[in-house]
Amino acid sequence: MKKLVISIVLVNLLAACASQKPHETTAAPAAPVAAAATATAPATATVAAAKTAVDPLNDPTSILAGRSVYYPFDVAAVQDADKPLVQAHAEYLSKNAARNVRLEGNCDERGSNEYNLALGQRRADGVMKMLELGGAKAAQLDSVSYGEEKPKATGHEESSWSQNRRTDLNYAK
């Protein structure tokens, strides 16, 4: 648990150091253009407000577009590569208290149904703990295991199995 907290803190520090503020460029419009802009300002302002009000969950360029955490065979711990994704979702949930997410643990087809259900639950619960440590409230989170019942890929080889060993983050509409 201590290692998990330390790794989350380190990921936050790295993310804070890596982020850059976008450069803003402003140019003064010419006088004739300013008069025309005044006539269309309300419509332009509405369009600009609509563009800036895009939910980051729906932005394909946002880290929040990633909704699955993947695992190696027979592992329930979130891997280092997916920790920034989980932390980003935790930050989003902490800032958006009205949003809820269902964590769906999944496994590949190997192993008994009982084992896979238990492993899927451990995976979903692990992501839930990381989200709570990152600032999400327990009331925003729900975890469930589907075991091997909801595969993303239907093949019977490692390339398919690796897609099926996951926890999906599904936000309520």
For the chain, give every domain's residue range.
61-70+77-171
Question: End-to-end distance of the chain based on CA atoms, in angstroms?
Answer: 32
Q: Residue 16: count other Cβ atoms within 10 Å of its Cβ.
A: 8
Confidence of residue 173 (pLDDT cuts 50, 70, 90): confident
Confidence of residue 39 (pLDDT cuts 50, 70, 90): very low
Residues 49-81: b if buried by 16+ CB within 10 A, e if exposed: eeeeeeeebeeeeeebeebbbbbeeeebebeee
Please tell me whether the overall predicted TM-score, pTM, comes out greater than 0.75 for this model.
no
Residue 70 phi, psi dihedral angles, 5° rounding:
-105, 155
The SS3 assignment for 47 reads helix
Average pLDDT of the chain to the nearest whole number: 82
Among 3.30.1330.60, 3.30.420.40, 3.30.450.40, 3.40.1350.10, name the CATH number for the domain at 61-70+77-171: 3.30.1330.60
* Residue entry with tokens 């290692």: 3
Which range has the worst mean pLDDT, 15-29, 78-92, 156-170?
15-29
DSSP for residue 149: S
pLDDT for the residue numbered 132 = 98
